[in-house]
A and B are shown apart, each in its own frame.
Chain A
Amino acid sequence: MKLDTDTLQRPISSRIRFWVIAALMIAIYYWAIQGMQFEGLQKTAGSVSKSILTGFLHPDWSFVYIPEGEDLLRGLLDTLVISILGTVVAAVTCIPFAFWASSNMSRQWAVSGSGKVVLSIIRVFPEIIVAILFIKAVGPGSFAGVLALGIHSIGMLAKLYAETIENIDPGPEEALLACGANRLQVLRYAVLPQVIPQFLSYSIYRFEINIRSATTLGLVGAGGIGTPLIFALQVRNWNRVGIILLGIILLIILTDLVSGWLRKRII
């Protein structure tokens, strides 16, 4: 009998919790559905979807290469170039940030703490907003895209770098210090050899993310394949949208393969 009450007591409190959470979830979803406007979109969606499907099935192959002016290959090349440059800018500029934010490189706790806060502030800015700000500052084009990717990537790369630095083996550093090496020598012969492969691997990983971002940067005017895509979408040229999306997918799959191979060779 006692056993029964014991087993009954617990389910009741957990059942109350379950229902409270369930009611909360229902309220949240009821509120969220209010925000969607479902009416007024079925009218044209069917025919538009059909024309999109035919457009995707018959891509505009003539857009792949046009001797003069904007074509698919040049757009993709620009996208690739923007993401390479953005990644390199970030991979180099984030090194001081990483040493700033790693707790074993500075004696005061406040130094690395402030570095971590700065990095997380950089990280929460979406790159597309950074891109828009740079477009306002330096004008539209690839340059704004490179800067946007470079600045935004610092946030994540420096965090990963800092974690790498925090995880290094302290043995070589202590040995060098015991032999009377100065700080720069410790950095060069004890820290860098341990972290460089991991740094490179993270940079290549970030490059994979950046190439996805770079395809969208053009939507706001920061260069690359996004610009012809948004033009094609605005004039409802679905054949061209189809070939551009196809090109983007191929580019991303190819760069993923290459960077995966590179990362495997480095580590």
Chain B
Amino acid sequence: MRSSLSQTSAHQPSSNAPLIDRYKRLATWLLFIFVLIACSIRTEVTPYQLVVGLPQMGSLLQEMFPPDWSYLPTIWGPMLETIQIAIMGTTIGGLLAIPVALLCAYNLTPNRWISIPMRMILNLVRTIPDLLFAAVFVAIFGIGPFAGMLALVFFSFGIIAKLTFEAIEAIDPGPLEAMTAVGANRIQLIIFGVMPQALPYFVSYFLYTFEVNVRAASVLGLVGAGGIGLLLDRALGLFRYDRASIIILLTLAIVLMIDYGSAVIRRKLL
């Protein structure tokens, strides 16, 4: 399909473009296709396998229905634990994010020797996915919700701090200048100048991260970090796909409910 597109475009007025541009475009496409072929050779993923593999997926989905509704009371407790993990992880991460966000913002911390290293630490924290954090913390603190909570603390810290310091940098500088002019100190500046402007954004980002964390917490159990994922792992290991499907359905329902609730609150805030 791609080659036919480039052929037709050769007959269009755009063929007046310099020859070198066309060669460049052709080279880019060739490179792209070459990379794709190399990738599919490396992983032995071919379109043929794709076609063969999808029916197997269908039969798996067939096994998942009907869901085992009698399993619902058993998974209710771990589901609540999942939400607890998400609440605690988001809260602690969010509280830790506040001072770091203040230190990262150029308009509050003009000293680049502080703000730039802080930003680098934030970028470093954000490169590591939550499940990797969870896997490491499970190894340190043992299997259980505490490891999951810590993983989410680091994860939410990275997101909230980044979003919040960008919000702080975008605030109106007028009140800050006025307060500096009448001799407010740094703490007063933050409480009366920055907080009123940045707090709605902070709460909104906090809730958004909470949504992400509920989804993340539901799979943390796969590496042993507590929550509903532990039961999902067990159900899949025992080939009880009917149980797995009820777990997935309940998780989806809870996630959608929390998404909806937090979206309503966020719309009120901003």
Interface residues of A (CB under 8 A from B): 28-29, 31-38, 40-41, 44-45, 48-49, 52, 77-78, 81-82, 84-85, 88-89, 121, 124-126, 128-129, 132-134, 136-138, 141-143, 146-147, 212-213, 215-216, 219-220, 223, 226, 229-230, 233-234, 236, 241, 245, 248-249, 252-253, 256
Contacts and interface: CB of A to CB of B under 8 A. Distances in A.
B45 A143 contact: yes
A99 B35 CA distance: 28
Q: Is the interface of B mostly helix, strand, loop or mixed?
A: helix
Contacts of B127: 212, 248-249, 252-253, 256
Interface residues of B, number: 54
Contacts of A41: 141-142, 144, 146
Interface stretch (B128-136, B167-175, B187-195): B128-136
Contacts of B218: 126
A219 B40 contact: no
Contacts of A216: 129, 131-132
Contacts of A48: 139-140
Contact of A45 (B39, B56, B140, B216): B140
B53 interface: yes
B129 A212 contact: yes
Q: Is the interface of A mostly helix, strand, loop or mixed?
A: helix
A214 to B, nearest CB: 9
B40 A85 contact: yes
Contacts, number: 152
Contacts of B83: 32
B73 to A, nearest CB: 18
Interface in B133-153: 135-136, 138-142, 144-146, 149
Interface of B: 35-36, 39-40, 42-45, 49-50, 53, 56-57, 59-60, 80-81, 83-85, 87-88, 91, 123-124, 127-129, 131-132, 135-136, 138-142, 144-146, 149, 215-216, 218-219, 222-223, 232, 236, 241, 248, 252, 255-256
Given A124-B215, A136-B236, A84 B39 contact: yes
A78 B42 contact: yes
Contacts of B88: 32-33, 35-36
Contact of B60 (A136, A215, A233, A241): A136
Contacts of A230: 135, 223
Given A36-B145, A124-B252, A129-B248, 15 more contacts: A33-B88, A34-B84, A35-B84, A36-B149, A45-B140, A77-B42, A84-B39, A85-B43, A137-B56, A143-B44, A212-B129, A219-B131, A248-B132, A253-B123, A256-B127
